[in-house]
A = this chain, B = another copy of it.
Amino acid sequence: MGQGEYELLWSDRPRPGRGRPSGLTRERIVAEAVAIADTEGLHKVSMKHLAERLGSGVMSLYRHVPGKDELVVLMYDSLMADPVDLPAAESWRDVLLHWGRAVMGMFRAHPWAVTVGTGHRTMGPGEAGWVDEVLGRLTAVGLPADLGLMAVLTVDCFALGAVRPEIGGADSSAQFFQFLADPGIRDRFPHLSRLAPAAADSDDLIEDYFEFGLNRVIDGLEQYLEGNR
């Protein structure tokens, strides 16, 4: 599987001079699939539906994409095809902050990518471009690339985990605490139940949670990196 995915993501597919020119392109297919996933959800991305949207026959898609699984991999990497938007920063702390927000922004805009990215560990050119860019920013402000990679990875991990509560929808926690109110259940989870009142306005809490956690994670990295200077 691994080998195939690298081929898929990295190999050039030269346009041959000969033969019938293609109306469809891999890029159009992937872009349309992303549009469907964004608006209707990943489970609505079927070859049939996708072909209808593109005004083509179902099997035509297979001339440009090896299969459904590979399409999803391409969809994911395409989200990072454009350079990552990182504001100029003078400290590596700010670089990491901006990096975390950029990654988080991407996941928020494409919730389906959280699931896809989780189960899949092959870096494509898009993702490599993002990582390369942030590593460059970090070295520019004095952080060695090897330490930088660890820091980036840590922030990345956190962002991926942190976007999770947001995906389920805002009212899910309210519903949960409603269940907790049942006496039979409340007694089984005493510590959790004690949080119920505080969690009443937990929407705001979740809203800001990412910034809180991100800053804590970077605090920890800072402490370590300053010590290792």
List residues of A whose CB falls within 8 A of some B CB: 2-3, 6, 10, 114-115, 117-123, 125, 128-129, 131-132, 135-136, 139, 145-146, 149-150, 153-154, 156-162, 164-165, 167-169, 171-172, 175-176, 179, 185, 188-192, 194-195, 198, 209, 212-213, 215-224
Contacts and interface: CB of A to CB of B under 8 A. Distances in A.
B157 A162 contact: yes
A106 to B, nearest CB: 14
A120 B168 contact: yes
Given A135-B191, A136-B191, A157-B161, 19 more contacts: A2-B168, A6-B179, A115-B118, A115-B119, A121-B164, A121-B167, A121-B169, A122-B176, A132-B188, A135-B192, A150-B212, A154-B213, A154-B217, A157-B157, A157-B164, A159-B161, A219-B220, A220-B222, A220-B223
A40 B14 CA distance: 37
A123 B176 contact: yes
Contact of A165 (B121, B135, B168): B121
Contacts of A154: 158, 162, 213, 216-217
Contacts of A3: 175
Contacts of A167: 119, 121
A177 to B, nearest CB: 10
A6 B176 contact: yes
A221 B217 CA distance: 7
Given A2-B171, A172-B2, A216 B220 contact: yes
Contact of A149 (B10, B185, B195): B195
A169 B119 CA distance: 12
B213 A219 contact: no
Contact of A150 (B121, B122, B213): B213
Nearest to A216: B220
B216 A224 contact: yes
Contact of A139 (B119, B191, B217): B191
A162 B162 CA distance: 12
B118 A118 contact: yes
Contacts of A160: 118, 157, 160-161, 164
